[in-house]
């Protein structure tokens, strides 16, 4: 067998990028699968995104992740979009095959895989509430609609942002989505199956913050999920657990969005346990 010292390259473009833990998880997955692939984190300011995207082709790279602030701006440099990326209007993963760059969004898909695998819930037919109307909320809501939820209520502080998310996703998916402005304490009514915090409330360093919601009337089996992964134990999840409700942390979404990107790039199924352990280790979570 002749030697092959040329690694396949993927990575992430973002700014800031130094604290992004995705590379640790991907490299652990590549090593466990015996793949000679490397994942490199690049600090790319907005004005350099176009040349960075051209460099991908020049260097023969296999794909790239996009994080803040590039998830929307990257659309102009792509040849194709997946249906989910089109509906969401943002891309976090690009695959390059035969010179063509295809944009996908694995954030919402990662969330859904966690709901199914880690929380054991099938979202089809469920009544769901999503708090927030930013990029994470859009990705999560789009996938929930495509998975056949029966009702998706978006609750957001800024009405214009919430309303335009609902209008866009209704048009893109035809799904049952509606909007409620968030004023004062939001009381979650009985009968809902899944509640998702897709705001940044509770994110480090503001770890003592929790969304102003009241869970006292929620059904006892309502799953409370948080997109915030730093810290994984948010105050919202602690509140939910204190009330006896099942919970799903943001690390689940983070791991599975990476697992799905791995699958798209390599065509192989990674060892999820290895990727999850590497991520938890890098974040200092036991």
Q: Which of 71, 101, 109, 276 is catalytic?
A: 71
Strand, helix or coil at 119? Answer: coil
The pattern of x and - marking residues 105 through 134 that bind ligand NDP according to CB under 6 A reads --x--x---------------------xxx
Q: By C-beta, is 4 or 185 nearer to ligand NDP?
A: 185
The stretch near ligand NDP (CB under 6 A) out of 76-84, 142-150, 196-204, 237-245 is 196-204
Distances (CA, A) of 147 to 48, 178, 252: 36, 16, 18
Q: Which of residues 29-58 bind ligand NDP (CB under 6 A)?
A: none
The stretch near ligand NDP (CB under 6 A) out of 12-20, 29-37, 49-57, 248-256 is 248-256
Considering the complex, what minimum distance in angstroms separates the CB of residue 136 from ligand NDP? 3
Neighbours of 178 (CB within 10 A): 12
What's the closest the beta carbon of residue 99 comes to ligand NDP, in angstroms? Answer: 29
Backbone dihedral angles phi then psi of residue 237, each to the nearest 5 degrees:
-65, -35
Could you give the CA distance from residue 30 to residue 56 in angstroms, rounded to a whole number? Answer: 20
What are the Cα distances from residue 87, in Å, to 113, 121, 176, 205? Answer: 19, 24, 14, 32
Residues 132-191 that bind ligand NDP (CB under 6 A): 132-137, 156-158, 161
DSSP class of residue 75 equals: G
At closest approach, how far in Å is the CB of 2 from ligand NDP?
40
Joined tokens for residue 6: 């040329």
Which one of 95, 201, 213, 260 is in contact with ligand NDP (CB under 6 A)?
Answer: 201
Least separation in angstroms between residue 270's CB and ligand NDP is 16
Total residues at interface with ligand NDP (CB under 6 A): 24
Question: Nearest residue to ligand NDP, using CB?
Answer: 134
Which residue, chain included where needed, has tokens 């939001």? 186
Sign of CA dihedral 88, 94, 95, 96: positive
Element (H, E) at 117: helix 107-117
- The nearer residue to ligand NDP, 53 or 133, going by C-beta atoms, is 133
Structure tokens at 221: 């089996």
Locate 81 and state its tokens. 């979009």
Q: For residues 156 and 140, is the Cβ–Cβ distance under 8 A?
A: no
Least distance between ligand NDP and beta carbon 198 (Å): 6
Cα Dmax for the chain? 68
Question: How far is it, in rounded angstroms, from Cα 264 to Cα 207?
Answer: 34
DSSP state letter for 283 = T
* Rounded least distance, CB 215 to ligand NDP, Å: 17
Beta strand pairing call for 100-104 and 93-97 = antiparallel
Closer to ligand NDP by CB, 89 or 135: give it: 135
**C-beta of 203 vs 239, nearer to ligand NDP:** 203
- Return d(Cα 107, Cα 100) in angstroms, integer: 22
- Residue closer to ligand NDP by CB (options 175, 202) is 202
Is residue 71 among the annotated active site residues?
yes
Per-residue contact track with ligand NDP, 214 to 243, x per CB under 6 A? -------------xxx--------------
Contact residues: ligand NDP, CB under 6 A: 107, 110, 132-137, 156-158, 161, 198-201, 203, 227-229, 250, 253-254, 257
Active site residues: 71
């Amino acid at each position: 067998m002749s030697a092959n010292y040329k690694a396949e390259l993927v990575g992430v473009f973002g700014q800031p990028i130094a604290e992004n833990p995705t590379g640790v998880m991907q490299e652990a997955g590549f090593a466990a699968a015996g793949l000679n692939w490397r994942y490199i984190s690049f600090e790319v300011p907005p004005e350099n995104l176009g040349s960075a995207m051209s460099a991908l082709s020049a260097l023969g790279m296999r794909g790239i992740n996009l994080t803040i602030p590039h998830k929307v701006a990257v659309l102009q440099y792509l040849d194709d979009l997946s249906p989910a990326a089109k509906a969401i209007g943002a891309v976090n993963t690009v695959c390059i095959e035969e010179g063509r760059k295809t944009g996908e969004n694995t954030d919402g898909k990662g969330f859904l895989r966690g709901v199914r695998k880690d929380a054991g819930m099938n979202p089809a037919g469920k009544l769901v509430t999503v708090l927030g109307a930013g990029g994470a909320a859009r990705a999560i809501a789009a996938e929930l609609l495509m998975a056949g939820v029966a009702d998706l209520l978006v609750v957001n502080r800024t009405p214009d942002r919430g309303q335009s998310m609902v209008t866009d996703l209704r048009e893109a998916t035809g799904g049952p989505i509606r909007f409620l402005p968030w004023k004062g304490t939001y009381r979650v009514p009985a009968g809902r199956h899944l509640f998702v915090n897709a705001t940044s409330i509770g994110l480090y360093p503001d770890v003592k913050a929790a969304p102003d919601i009241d869970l006292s009337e929620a059904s006892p089996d309502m799953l409370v999920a948080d997109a915030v992964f730093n810290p994984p134990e948010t105050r919202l999840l602690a509140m939910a657990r204190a009330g006896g409700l099942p919970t799903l942390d943001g690390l689940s979404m983070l791991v599975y969005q990476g697992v799905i990107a791995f699958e798209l790039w390599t065509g192989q199924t990674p060892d999820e346990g290895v990727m999850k352990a590497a991520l938890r280790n890098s974040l200092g979570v036991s």
